[in-house]
Structure 1
């Protein structure tokens, strides 16, 4: 009887090459499947070092909130370009929910969601989630429920994950370690008087503001959608202190603050073109106009009338490619334009009907297998309280 061989090409390779050169580059979902193949693979891919190295190999994917008309609900999706892999699917769902909900933060593969008055932290790659406490504001305070999440970050000196909360209408902020309900109060810097009153109140709300975690600091572009230059607020996540930074003197409406090739960048929509200003010297706060992308020159199918355009937001896929969300009533649809900095159109995707059915959340996810911080959160509160959303990554 002929023996059936179960040998694979991996059996001819040293184990360290399989683990350190192959498995570490796979998406977390595939690594989790590989853990069932061999005990050695399971143990070596479960170490903190491997999980951190694996996360660094994952692309940063902009998270998009999409309205699903036939289900009268929302879904969070990411845009994936499969490269040589042939697939028409570009928008991949990660969170499904049929009630009103918000994505408030993203860091190291973790997402913070709010559903009604509840807050959750989850890792879509591992399908794990747990309730997230919010600061306990004294009942006698006028602030009440008027607090919002401004940022979510890893505090490197302690190894903790922390959430930065602001209260509306005053200069008070809170730093809360994930898993704790005992915040530390800090003072938030005042906001420029050049901002309209309505913009000043929620200038750093993570639902609306364009924020970037760059060089261990959170950056907020306070003048988003305005034509006047407004400074960038910076929060150092190591010293946990605030400062202000000069923004570029660019024309047009500021749309997004981005990280481009390990540099801070600011995008604006100006008379049919996208301008990208890149910081040349971080310490000197020196900016330069590096790219101007003329949308009217792009040949789209169908040909879009950019004279009636509405560019709502811009996301960076990598150091050369952009994803632009366009909406205007004359089209009757939302469109996602995928292009590069040399004005080459890489794709034009028509989305479902519905006014403002899609928008960028200003958050990026980098998939990881990291366990939720403070696993006891799941044991204490996650068993009896089920999240009102479905993880579908």
Structure 2
């Protein structure tokens, strides 16, 4: 949900459904080689595209819609995944889709499935964290967005972690 509308990518188009007016509209995406994922970044609509056509150096492009009304896109980051370096550390790599999102503190996070590992990279392509799949890690094409209002009684609940990420 962004600006009161639900958004999703279909090929090179974004379909937006305005939940108040109950109407649809279309927007063009930037020209990207593969399917893209949408997310919110810095109060703007963001889009990531994983380019695995060059197996030697897979790339994640991160776009932002600078002007929502005029539908103006700008390339914000180009994350080059260090294939050779990661292969030495984590074994064989078969390029697959990745997930891009912004953390609660505003950092852009890139999650890349890498063999039996899930790797967290920053926008410079540097490894931040790694998580080994021991049979329980299942990827889903869904993103978590915390929407609960932070009431004053939350921190007083025993065992409640108010400022921590739920998964990472």
Per-residue deviation, 1:367 = 5.6
Aligned partner of 2:4 in structure 1 is 216
Aligned to 1:284: 70
Match of 1:52 in 2: none
Query: Which of the residues 295, 314, 317 maps onto 2:99?
Result: 314
- Does the residue aligned with 2:47 lie in a helix, a strand or coil? strand
Shift of 1:363: 3.1
Q: Is the 8 A contact 1:234 1:244 kept in 2?
A: yes
Which residue of 44, 50, 53 maps to 1:263? 44
Contact 2:65 2:71 in 1 (8 A): yes
* Stretches of 4+ aligned residues off by more than 4 angstroms: 297-302
More helix by proportion, 1 or 2?
1
Q: Secondary structure of 1:341's match?
A: coil
Question: Residue deviations 1:245-290, cap 9 Å, x none?
Answer: 111112x222411111111111111131111111111111111211
Which structure 2 residues correspond to residues 124-163 of structure 1 after superposition, within 5 A? none
What is the CA–CA distance in structure 2 between the aligned matches of 1:346 and 1:317, rounded to whole Å? 14
> Tell me, which stretches of 5 or more residues in structure 2 are unaligned?
151-168
**SS of the residue aligned with 1:360?**
coil
CA deviation after TM superposition for structure 1 residue 309, in Å? 2.5
- Gap change, CA 1:269 and 1:278, over 3 Å in 2: same
SS of equivalent to 2:20 = coil
Cα distance change, pair 273–340 in 1 and its aligned pair in 2 (3 A): same
**Contact 1:279 1:287 survives alignment (8 Å):** yes
Deviation, 1:301, is 8.6
Point out which structure has higher relative CO (alpha carbons under 8 A, 6+ apart): 1
CA distance in 2, matches of 1:320, 1:297: 22
The answer (yes or no) to whether the contact 1:248–1:287 under 8 Å persists in 2 is yes
**Does residue 359 of the first structure (1) align with residue 139 of the second (2)?**
yes
The separation in 1 between residues aligned to 2:91 and 2:82, in whole angstroms, is 8
Deviation at 1:317, TM superposition (A): 3.5
Q: Which has the larger radius of gyration?
A: 1
Q: Deviations over 1:321-356 (max 9, x none)?
A: 3141415xxx4x2x22212212222111111237xx
Task: Tell me what 2:24 maps to.
Answer: 242
CA drift at 1:305:
5.6
SS in 1 for 2:82: helix
Go from structure 1 to structure 2 and tell me whether the alpha carbon gap of 1:258 and 1:365 turns closer, same or farther (over 3 Å shift): closer
